[in-house]
Amino acid sequence: MKSFASDNYAGVLPEVMEALAKANSQHVRSYGADDITKRVVARFKEVFDADVDVYFVFNGTGANLLSISSATHSYNSILCADTSHIYNDESSAPETFTGCRFFPLKANDHGKLDIETISERLIRKGDVHYAQTAMLSITQATEYGTVYKPEEIKAISELTKEHGLYLHMDGSRFFNAVASLKCGLNDISGKAGVDILSLGGTKAGMMYGEAVVVFNKELSKHIGYKHKQIIQLASKTRFIAAQFEAMLQDELWRKTATHANKMAELLCQSLTPNRKIKITKPVQANALFAEIPRNWYEPLQEHSPFYVWKDSTHEVRFMCAWDTKEEEISNFVKAIEALP
């Protein structure tokens, strides 16, 4: 099966598999005290060109909640887009682990948060009856497959700093965003004012594992303890670290993310002429959103699974991965054209 449902349907990059094999050589200290982990953390400092702290975790929800819990008390609230993964697809784990309130902000048509929208919710500071807002979480690339530009992030960051909020970036598809912008890793994270980043590995082609990257040292005080408490400290941490080492080697992530983005762009171009299809979002990363006839659902899902985003308007999401092939795109386009 080749699917357009999610980039987490894909397998593991061959370079990552090799790195896992190579890391499997002997006894090493557990829980991240090993040399591989130390080496890869040092590598993060180089590629981010910043004195970051790095915590390896198992999955994306773990990365998000470690990031958020390192910056909040239980009487706090967090602002996030109403379209965000953390608001829609992580059960009540955010509340259960942090004790905090999560306030949804209406994302704009491109799935981003506008300055005005954020500003309107920066309210009631010091009012004990209101869960005090401590953090804003944005997603890069967004759930709509769009990408915040560096200056957009900077503007948001300045607003959050003015109001004493921390800025979190859910970067489960961060590599796709950087590849799309053709910039450096830090240009849309630390340098743009992000305090803490959930850096996605799994969807980028790893087997499992994400990294929490801390730019703001104020957030370093508790995070080591939270890392364990939140059930995200792997005993054999070396195997997560080694996967990231492979991703960072010669910017493998850029190659693969650029490819996935390109495949989404190709799919977009191939489908645009089709008058039964309406492309609904700009393609800036590895996703294509489109409204399609409802009677296509079944035959098309059988050909290649995809995700129904909004059933009321027949809007669906086609997601490309590191291993999506041009041929698969053209086959899929042909299958679509053959639909009645």
Site residues (CB under 8 A) for a second copy, limited to 196-225 = 202-203, 207-208, 222, 224-225
Which one of 104, 150, 184, 282 is in contact with a second copy (CB under 8 A)? 104
Q: What is the DSSP letter of 313?
A: G
Residue 10 and residue 304 in contact, taking contact as beta carbons nearer than 8 Å: no
Q: Is 251 helix (H, G, I), strand (E, B) or coil?
A: helix
Least Cβ distance, residue 293 to a second copy (angstroms): 23
Tell the burial category of 116 from Cβ atoms under 10 Å away from its Cβ (0-12, 13-18, 19+): exposed
User: Would you say 226 or 259 has its CB closer to a second copy?
Assistant: 226
Which one of 19, 54, 79, 131 is in contact with a second copy (CB under 8 A)? 131
Pattern 13-52, binding to a second copy, x per CB under 8 A?
----x--xx-xxxxxxxxx---------------------
The verdict on 227 binding a second copy (CB under 8 A) reads: yes
Query: Residue type for 145, please?
Result: G
The verdict on 145 binding a second copy (CB under 8 A) reads: no
The verdict on 280 binding a second copy (CB under 8 A) reads: no
Least Cβ distance, residue 234 to a second copy (angstroms): 6
Token pair in block for residue 277: 């299809």
Q: Is 50 helix (H, G, I), strand (E, B) or coil?
A: coil
* Site size with a second copy, rule: CB under 8 A: 76
Residues 285-324 binding a second copy (CB under 8 A) are 305, 321, 323
3-state helix, strand, coil in the chain (%, to 5): 45, 15, 40
The verdict on 230 binding a second copy (CB under 8 A) reads: yes
Q: Where are the alpha helices (DSSP H) in 74-219?
A: 85-88, 93-98, 115-120, 150-162, 174-181
Least Cβ distance, residue 181 to a second copy (angstroms): 25
CA distance 168 to 148: 13
Residue 316 and residue 307 in contact, taking contact as beta carbons nearer than 8 Å: yes
The verdict on 275 binding a second copy (CB under 8 A) reads: no
Residues 148-177 binding a second copy (CB under 8 A) are none
User: Would you say 21 or 42 has its CB closer to a second copy?
Assistant: 21
User: Would you say 203 or 281 has its CB closer to a second copy?
Assistant: 203
Which one of 38, 45, 50, 58 is in contact with a second copy (CB under 8 A)? 58
CA distance 36 to 209: 15
Beta strand 287-291 with 278-279 is: antiparallel
